[in-house]
């Protein structure tokens, strides 16, 4: 992800973790689509596609929130997380 490469794991560890979580959600969605392809029934295939869709939506939300934070504070160079 291009956004991930603009963040610093020391200055923005929470935002980096959010993007990592988004990446894992996309991996889960990819796996689910593979299972949907191999499903033995249309019901099972629909379940796996629904799982994939849920994970894709969550990944998009994570990325949007990170992008909003970066945009709000004028770019990744202006964000420093405190605490945690």
Within-domain flag for 22: yes
Within-domain flag for 65: yes
Tokens encoding 75: 């770019």
- The structure's pTM equals 0.83
Within-domain flag for 50: yes
Helix (H) or strand (E) holding 14: helix 13-38
Cα distance between residue 63 and residue 24, in whole Å = 12
Within-domain flag for 54: yes
Work out how many domains the chain is built from and give that number: 1
Question: Consecutive sets of 10 residues in the chain, 84 residues long: mean pLDDT of each?
Answer: 77 90 97 97 98 98 92 80 68
The residue segments making up the domain with residue 35 are: 15-72
Question: Is the CB of residue 26 less than 8 Å from the CB of residue 14?
Answer: no
Within-domain flag for 4: no
Tokens encoding 66: 């990170």
Provide the pLDDT for residue 1.
Answer: 58
Within-domain flag for 43: yes
Within-domain flag for 56: yes
Cα distance between residue 59 and residue 66, in whole Å = 11
Provide the pLDDT for residue 25.
Answer: 98
Within-domain flag for 60: yes
Cα distance between residue 40 and residue 33, in whole Å = 13
Provide the pLDDT for residue 77.
Answer: 77
């Amino acid at each position: 992800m291009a956004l991930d490469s603009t963040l610093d794991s020391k200055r923005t560890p929470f935002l980096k973790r959010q993007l990592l979580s988004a990446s894992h959600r996309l991996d889960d969605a990819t796996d689910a689509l593979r299972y949907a392809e191999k499903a033995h029934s249309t019901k099972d295939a629909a379940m796996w596609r629904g799982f994939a869709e849920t994970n894709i939506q969550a990944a998009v939300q994570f990325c949007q929130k990170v992008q909003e934070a970066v945009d709000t504070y004028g770019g990744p160079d202006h964000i420093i997380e405190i605490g945690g």
